[in-house]
Each structure stands twice: as structure tokens, then as C-alpha cells.
Chain A
Amino acid sequence: MKIEFPSREFDDAVAAVCHGLASEEEARALNELLRLHMGARDEYILRVELHTRLASQLDLFVPGTVHEFPSVAAGTSPAPHRRAGRKVIWAAALAACIAVVAAIGWKMQRTLPSTTRDTPPARVASLDDWKPSVTNRPGEDYPRINSERRVQFRIKAPNANHVSVIIASSDMGSPHTITRSNDGIWTITTSPIGIGFHFYRVLIDGVSVADPATQIFRGGGGDWLSSAIEIPTGEDFHELKDVPHGEVREQQYYSRITDSWRRAFVYTPPGYDRDLSARYPVLYLLHGRGEDETSWPVQGRVNWILDNLISEQRARPMIVVMDRGIAVRPGEPETSFRQAGDTNQFPTLEEVFVTELVPMIDQTFRTSPDREHRALAGLSVGAAQAFAIGLRHFDKFANVGSFSFAGGLPARSFDPRTSYGGVMMDADAFNRQMRVLFLSVGEDEPDRVLSNVEQYYRTLRDAGIDHVFYESSATGHEWHTWRRSLREFASLLFKN
């Protein structure tokens, strides 16, 4: 891509930068132009400055007002005047932030996450445009979500003294209301929540249960069954569309290592049963902590994402295998994790994958059974497993993806010369053989995940290891980050 100046492409690229929407390709082309063309550079500076003034000089919109700095009083209610109100909120947040830093040496935390910044953290005064969450059971009106991304739950618990809701992975703030009607219906309204898929549990007098109004999902951080809400994203790459569809099959296999039957879900692409001579590359996907083999096909929507990508010719038709990310020998503890710092933390799972699952898939499905046509990726602790297994078995996987790397070998202990069996010791040799090494993270993930992924990224970069880094805009440690990551990763795979 090349951008001329002046041109419509230049206009669009600068606007995209202002709105935070520029693609990497566009950014690179703009960089090339700005580096070489002084006129373009001056024009760029002027346009950005105009945009920035509009965003920062709020008195522009209130003719005749005098800008004054409010006194800082923690807990001050927003003033009637919007501009002053926002200023007080910002000042109070800053004061709070300082108080915490002063008290405990606390480092930067996102106090006003971008996904909730649209709505000031004032008292709940919800817009009345509620729609049921798409995760509800048919006919259930609650939980429901409005255009401010507030969620309203309704729980029937006539004999309860206290009802609340636990939402995992959200940036939900404290303002909310809980009301109880005379007939024992509890209505809970949250402050705005980040986009995407969020597990939740209902807490009734201290007992945590799933909400019977929604479908039930495996996950949510603990080893439990959860309810979930889906905050609309305005995107449709993961929705069911009128395109050719593949199938998700359930494949049982007996594992001698664990002395148990295991189950894998297998996506086969559209046309798999028509052309019986075609062979396909395979992507293996791992889930996160507390989840299981149902997670990718259910909340991950793998089949719809792949159907859509294949239909748009953004991804090659491929088989996707989704197995359980826990494997234990008889008598082993269920976690099967070893101590942090050990690069081989998932030895039983690794053995099951390499000596049982992959051979079973190659024997059962029409795969292209070589490393070039095999990829392994996972999310959260599954990301750590993907690195641990994929990189230690470089002869079997030429593509490895890590979405929101957490758990496993921490970045501070990662040394490309020695970690993962020393596979990256010779960067040039590694780069020649590795097809895609992929890292991703959600922009609004907790700092511990962001900093871990960031440190992995820096270490790889400094070691000269080729890789792709993707940041999912305005999403947290939740499934929409991983759906987008899958979309990006799958689009890169098996291209040659």
C-alpha cells in the first residue's frame, strides 16, 4: 500500500489515526509518507491538532464560559454543568489514584477503562432500551442489556436476605442498584460493562449458583458451571450467517496414558464430506482455566468464525480440534501443572497430545499430516500450554498461537536461549522453520496479563524472533478477545 499526498487515501488515513482505527498496513504507508514528505507532515500535524483541540478544549462547546479548576473534594457529586461535572470526576479519580499510590506504592491501574468511558460513573439512570442477552434461554427477558452496556438481572429469591451477582473479567464499576419487590423478585442493575462475553454467578445468601435464565457454560475462572451475558460488539465475524457451513463432530478416544475416555470436538470445513480426496491442515485449540472442550465450540463460536472466514476466502479450509486441556494419570492431581519456572509444566497433557490425540486425528480425518499443516493455539493458561507443547515439539507444529498468555512459564523467566527446550537458541534457524508465531492480548486485560504478554513480546523482539502481535481493542480477559484472536491467527495460517 502506498499513500500519495494530497490524496483521498491520505485524508482517510489521517482520519483513521485520529479515531484509532488505522490498520497496520495503513499506518506503515502513512509512516513512509510522513518520513519523506514535509508538506504531508505539516498537514498531518495541523489535522491532528484540530482533532485534539476538539477533544480537549471543552469550553469550545460552551460559548462564553470561563474555564475554572474545581476544588478537589473526594466523593463530590457531579455538578449540574456537564463540563464541570466531568472535571470533578476526573479530579476525584486522580485524587483516589494518588491516595492509593501514596499508601501502598501502587502502580498504574486503569481507573477509567476505555470501554466504559462513554458514560460517566454517576448514579444509575439507565436508558430504557433493554434487550435480552443472546445467551438467555429461549423466552427469557432477563438478563437484559441496554445501549449503555448496563446489564439488568432479575432473580426470584423470596426468602433471601441478600442477593448479588459475581461477574468475571469485567471492568464493572461500583455504581449499581439492587431492588427487591414485595413478591421476592430481586432486580440488579450494573454500571456499564466492557463489550464481549462475560461469565457470571448469582450469590444468594452467600451461596453461589448459576442463573436459571441463561444457558449454562463451563468456565468463569473456577471449576464450575456459569451463566453468561454477551455485551454486543457491533461486529458480525462471529455470528451465524448465510454462508456454507462446516460441522462440529464429537470424537471419543481412549487414552492409555490417563486410562480414561477423552472427548474432542472436531470442526470440519464446508465441503469436507463432498470431496473425499481433499486433505486439510489442522488447528488444535486449547481453552482456559476452569473450562473444557466445550468452550471453543460454544462460547468461542469456532464454527461460525471459520465458516465466515472461509467463505470470505480469508482463511484456508481447515480442520479444528478442540480437546480438554487437562490430562492426568491415575492418581495425579487434577491440575497436572508443575511449578512455575519449569518450561515443561504440562507433561501429561503434552504426552496425550503428541502421542495420542494428534495420531488419532491423523488416522480418523483426512489431514495433511505434517508440521507445516499443523497449528496449536490456546487462551490464557491454554496459551501457556500451546507454547509449552507446540514449541517443545517443533517437529510437529510449525504454527503456534498464544492468546492472553497467563499461567505457565512467566515472561520474567522466559529466556529464548534455553526455554522451551532451547528451540529459539538460533533465531535465524527458528525463523526459517517457524511459519507463524502469534501473540495476542485484549487492550483492557488486567495489568498482570498485559505486562506478561508485553514482556514476552519484548523478549521475542529483542532476540530477533519473528512473530505477530495482535491487540484486541477495548476487550478484557474474555471470549471476544479470543474470538478476534482466532480470526486473526486463522487468517495467517497455512497460506503457502
Chain B
Amino acid sequence: MVNGSILVMQGSGLPVSAPTAEQQRFLSLFLRSEKEIFRYVAALVPNSTDAEDIVQQTAVALWEKFYAYDPNQPFTPWACRFALNKARQWIERRQRWQALLERGVAEELERRREELRPELEFRLRHLETCLEKLPQDQRALVEGYYYRRSGIEKLAESSGRTVAATYKALQRIRHALQLCIEGAARAKGAA
């Protein structure tokens, strides 16, 4: 094995160095809130890779303003304000997302999601049980897509479907999960 370098003209990697105590404190807070920030962003921009990009941009913006953070206040709402700004900037640059979220729809979705939050939590607590009930092939597909992030082409190839059919299969699985969750929530409510 000979070590060598590949020169990249655009888009090089980042230097990695040990974090300072301040960075450690920020990372600790950020990582605790990361999932909630992601969900907050994904409610507006549901595509995972796009939402992750926005969360990354948010992380950098948060660090730049971390000196202004009041440790007596909860971190997540403070962070979500930045996330909302980043999401808006991101949406503004993309015509089809603008088309989806313009004319007050973004604000209405955000407001309504907040109202529905207890209901969403109540229903989605059954998600893990419902996932376990999926047939093996469906479970493998959903795990490949969401957990292993295998990429849709690879999943399509390994399952012998076309890419379009794979997306459709994922849609059907989510629908089955939704029915299962609603059934479980109804049963729980009736009990």
C-alpha cells in the first residue's frame, strides 16, 4: 500500500481537530436537540437529504451565534428559530418548494403541526410495534431506505424492482404503517 493524495479541485474535505470545551458544550446541546430540529425542518422540507443539509447549515449558524445563547433558556426552541431561517432561505432558492409552501402554507403547516403535536406523539408511539409487524421483505426495504440509506437504485436492484416501483413500494409500506398506527391508537383510546 502506498499512501498518496488525490487532488480535488472543488469540494475538498474538512480538517478535523479535537474540539475545545466550548465546542464540546455546544455539540452536547446540539446533538441532544438534533432530532427535534431535523423534524422541525422536515415538516417543511420532508426530503431527508435536503432536511439534513438544512440542519447542517443550521448547526454552523448556531455555532456562529452560540456566544449569544442564554444557557438559562431551553436550547431547542432557540435552535429552531435558526432552523426556520435556514429552511426559508433554502426554500426561497428552489422553485418547486416555493410552489408547495407559498401563500401562507408554510406558516399554516408549522402552526398546525404544533397544535397536533400531542396527537402525533400519541399515534407515533406505536410506530416501532407496527414496524415489527411488517412482512420481512417490506421491513428490509424500509430499513434499507431509512436506516442504512442504501440509495434507491441499489434497493431497486436488490429487490428486482424498478426505481419507480421501489418508491411506490415505500409509499405502500408507509400507508400500511399509518393504518396500523391508527388502529393501535384507536384501540388504546378505547381501552
Contacts and interface: CB of A to CB of B under 8 A. Distances in A.
Given A42-B116, A74-B18, A114-B49, A176 B6 contact: yes
Contacts of B10: 168-171, 446, 476-477
Contact of B178 (A45, A46, A457, A458): A46
Interface stretch (A157-165, A239-247, A335-343): A157-165
B69 interface: no
B165 interface: no
B145 to A, nearest CB: 8
Nearest to A201: B7
Nearest to B128: A60
A102 B109 CA distance: 35
B interface, how many residues as a size bin?
A: 35 or more
B3 A476 contact: no
Contacts of B163: 234
Given A15-B167, A35-B108, A172 B15 contact: no
B96 A24 contact: yes
Contacts of B68: none
Contact of A95 (B23, B116, B150, B175): B23
Residue among A12, A46, A63 with the highest chain B CB neighbour number at 10 A: A46
B171 A164 contact: no
B159 interface: no
B154 A147 contact: yes
B13 interface: yes
A444 B50 CA distance: 11
A469 B98 CA distance: 12
Contacts of A176: 6
B88 to A, nearest CB: 13
A72 B26 CA distance: 11
B146 A55 contact: yes
Interface string A448-475: 0010001001100000000001110000
B75 interface: no
A333 B112 CA distance: 62
Given A21-B167, A48-B46, A54-B146, A95 B99 contact: no
A23 interface: yes
Interface string A385-415: 0000000000000000000000000000000
B127 A35 contact: no
Interface stretch (A104-112, A136-144, A251-259, A372-380): A104-112
Contact of B113 (A30, A49, A167, A469): A49
A84 interface: no
A93 B23 CA distance: 13
B46 A110 contact: no
Nearest to B26: A98
B28 A221 contact: no
A19 B47 contact: yes
A457 B49 CA distance: 23
Interface in A189-233: 190, 203, 221
Contacts of A172: 6, 8, 11
Interface stretch (A177-185, A348-356, A360-368, A429-437): A177-185
B177 A27 contact: no
A156 to B, nearest CB: 15
A473 to B, nearest CB: 10
A96 B105 contact: no
A103 to B, nearest CB: 9
B149 A95 contact: no
Contacts of A11: 171, 175
Interface string B16-58: 1111100110111011100100110011001111111100110
B132 interface: yes
B26 A23 contact: no
B178 A34 contact: no
B99 A73 contact: no
Contact of B94 (A15, A61, A92, A471): A471
A35 B105 contact: yes
A49 to B, nearest CB: 5
Nearest to B38: A56
B191 interface: no
A108 B112 contact: no
Nearest to A149: B151
Contact of B9 (A18, A34, A73, A221): A221
Interface string A9-52: 00110010111111110011011001100000110111111111
Contact of A109 (B14, B23, B96): B14
14 contacts: A11-B171, A35-B104, A45-B109, A46-B116, A47-B178, A50-B178, A51-B46, A53-B127, A69-B31, A72-B19, A97-B63, A168-B9, A171-B11, A444-B11
Interface of A: 11-12, 15, 17-24, 27-28, 30-31, 34-35, 41-42, 44-58, 60-61, 63, 69, 72-75, 82-83, 87, 91-102, 107-114, 117-118, 147, 162-174, 176-180, 188, 190, 203, 221, 234, 444, 446, 450, 454, 457-458, 469-471, 476-477
3 closest A-B pairs by beta carbon, nearest first, are A20-B47, A27-B100, A52-B42
Given A21-B167, A52-B43, 17 more contacts: A34-B108, A35-B103, A46-B116, A46-B178, A53-B127, A57-B127, A60-B127, A94-B56, A101-B60, A107-B60, A111-B14, A112-B52, A113-B11, A147-B153, A163-B4, A177-B1, A471-B93
